[in-house]
């Protein structure tokens, strides 16, 4: 047993040594006890992050990529038709390639999925979807051929407004006239439609002219203006049909929740529907001979990227987020199409397209803001129904566990 000296000098030396030991000794790690409640909260937090990535981040990224691929498809299609590719031939071959690509993918991804049987009602719905999709693309490709990819992208912004109106009709969206969000939806929809009319009816002076000016007759200018208006009208009809397709496809995926299998059946139905119609509209057999040029590249791009990837992502987005969310990404294609059209195709950018695109984009972002406000209010209402426990509301009761009725009875008998 050590007996400390009574000498003040020695005591001061020991005190100094103990201070040095405290300073130079390595810090000890404090072990923190994690209660089962905290562990459960951490697990829920990780699940919430994963759900947020799946429900918010992944759909946004996928929809943005699809819009980029759609603009690329419009640009390469325009370049291929300028080289002589007939758009009827383009559509049939694209649908056939998409069907061939989706055959292995559908059975690989859904080989272990228990799917409902295909009855007559589902087959009939798929046939209607194929007819609407084929008619929409037939009008859209003809409209791009008469106008430009820039105008096609600008007119595509009619889709959010039309989809919103149809979603209200089919009770897939709520509308309360006294709420600011609902009023913003209506205003944004009207502004988008007005912008689309500006793009179609007003061409205006050239903002960016890539080609050298040439002497043209009045007949050529009037014919060009007529083609511009006709192309805009066809594109407007195209995107109205696409809005209808969004609504019907969202309902179909609820009945048959297998996105890749749905897109496979859709592509197969498109091939069956489009082949006789396109052969009737283009009976020249020489037009069906494809050369190894930009026409073949456009067909492969459309079948693999445009149809297989794009329609699959759209179908998945309709299942996860709904038709209005998917349609809201259409305005992103305006700037991309304008840049690609001017750089790669030598298109002239007109003032009417710029003004109309600004109006359409403004209306789109107003509708998107309103949609975000409604989603936030719904989350608050849902969280309000689940009241937190007393131990979470009051800090002093964090270590207190509320006794059950059986424990109350035991205490009373005691």
pLDDT 10s digits, 218-270: 444 445 566 778 888 888 888 889 889 989 988 898 888 888 888 899 999 99
Reported as a pLDDT band with limits 50, 70 and 90, residue 82 is confident
pLDDT at 374: 76
Predicted pLDDT at 269? 92
Mean pLDDT is lowest, of 35-44, 46-55, 72-81, 88-97, for 35-44
Give 161-216 pLDDT, tens digit per residue. Answer: 788 888 888 877 777 778 888 888 888 878 877 877 787 677 788 877 665 444 44
pLDDT beyond 80 at 359: yes
Q: Which helix (H) or strand (E) holds 120?
A: helix 120-146
**Angle, alpha carbons 169-174-178 (nearest 5°):** 115
How much is the average pLDDT of 285-312?
88
Which 3 state secondary structure label does DSSP give 208? strand
pLDDT at 98: 92
Every domain of the chain and the residues it spans: 61-111+119-209+225-371
Secondary structure letter of residue 211 according to DSSP: S
**2-6, 99-103, 152-156, 178-182: segment of lowest average pLDDT:** 2-6
pTM: 0.67
pLDDT at 390: 37
Q: State phi, psi for 113 to the nearest 5 degrees.
A: -90, 130
Task: Give the lowest-confidence range in 5-14, 224-233, 353-362.
Answer: 5-14
DSSP designation for 344: I
* pLDDT (0 to 100) of residue 210: 60
Q: How far apart are the first and last CA of the chain?
A: 51
CA dihedral sign of residues 202, 206, 211, 214: positive
Which of 86-95, 123-132, 356-365 is the least confident region? 356-365
155: Cβ–Cβ under 8 A, 6 or more apart, which residues?
A: 143, 196, 199, 200, 232, 235, 236, 238, 239
Contact 268, 89 (CB under 8 A): no
The angle at the Cα of 229, spanning 129 to 352, to the nearest 5 degrees, equals 110
Mean pLDDT of the residues in the chain: 75
Q: What is the pLDDT of residue 277?
A: 92
């Amino acid at each position: 047993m050590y007996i400390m000296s009574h000498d003040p000098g020695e005591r001061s030396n020991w005190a100094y040594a103990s201070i040095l030991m405290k300073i130079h000794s390595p810090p000890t790690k404090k072990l923190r006890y994690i209660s089962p409640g905290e562990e459960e909260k951490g697990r829920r937090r990780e699940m919430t992050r994963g759900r947020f990535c799946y429900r918010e981040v992944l759909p946004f990224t996928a929809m943005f990529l699809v819009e980029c691929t759609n603009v690329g498809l419009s640009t390469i299609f325009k370049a291929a038709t300028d080289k002589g590719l007939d758009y009827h031939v383009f559509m049939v071959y694209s649908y056939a390639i998409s069907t061939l690509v989706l055959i292995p993918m559908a059975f690989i991804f859904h080989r272990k999925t228990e799917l409902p049987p295909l009855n007559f009602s589902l087959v009939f719905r798929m046939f209607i979807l194929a007819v609407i999709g084929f008619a929409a693309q037939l009008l859209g490709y003809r409209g791009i051929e008469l106008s430009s990819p820039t105008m096609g992208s600008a007119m595509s912004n009619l889709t959010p407004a039309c989809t919103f109106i149809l979603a209200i009709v089919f009770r897939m969206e709520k509308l309360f006239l006294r709420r600011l969000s609902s009023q913003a939806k209506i205003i944004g929809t009207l502004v988008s439609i007005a912008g689309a009319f500006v793009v179609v009816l007003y061409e205006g002076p050239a903002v960016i002219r890539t080609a050298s000016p040439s002497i043209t007759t009045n007949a050529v200018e009037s014919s060009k203006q007529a083609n511009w208006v006709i192309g805009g009208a066809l594109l407007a009809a195209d995107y109205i049909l696409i809005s209808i397709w969004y609504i019907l496809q969202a309902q179909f995926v609820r009945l048959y929740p297998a996105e890749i299998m749905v897109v496979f059946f859709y592509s197969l139905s498109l091939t069956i529907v489009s082949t006789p119609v396109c052969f009737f509209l283009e009976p020249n057999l020489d037009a069906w001979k494809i050369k190894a040029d930009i026409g073949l590249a456009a067909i492969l791009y459309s079948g693999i990227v445009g149809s297989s990837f794009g329609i699959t992502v759209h179908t998945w987005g309709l299942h996860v987020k709904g038709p209005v969310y998917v349609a809201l990404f259409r305005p992103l294609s305006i700037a991309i199409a304008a840049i690609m059209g001017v750089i790669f195709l030598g298109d002239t950018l007109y003032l009417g397209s710029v003004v109309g695109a600004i109006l359409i984009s403004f209306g789109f972002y107003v509708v998107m803001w309103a949609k975000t406000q409604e989603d936030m209010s719904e989350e608050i209402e849902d969280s309000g129904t689940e009241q937190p426990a007393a131990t979470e509301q009051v800090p002093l009761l964090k270590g207190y566990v509320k006794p059950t009725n059986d424990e109350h009875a035991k205490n009373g008998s005691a």
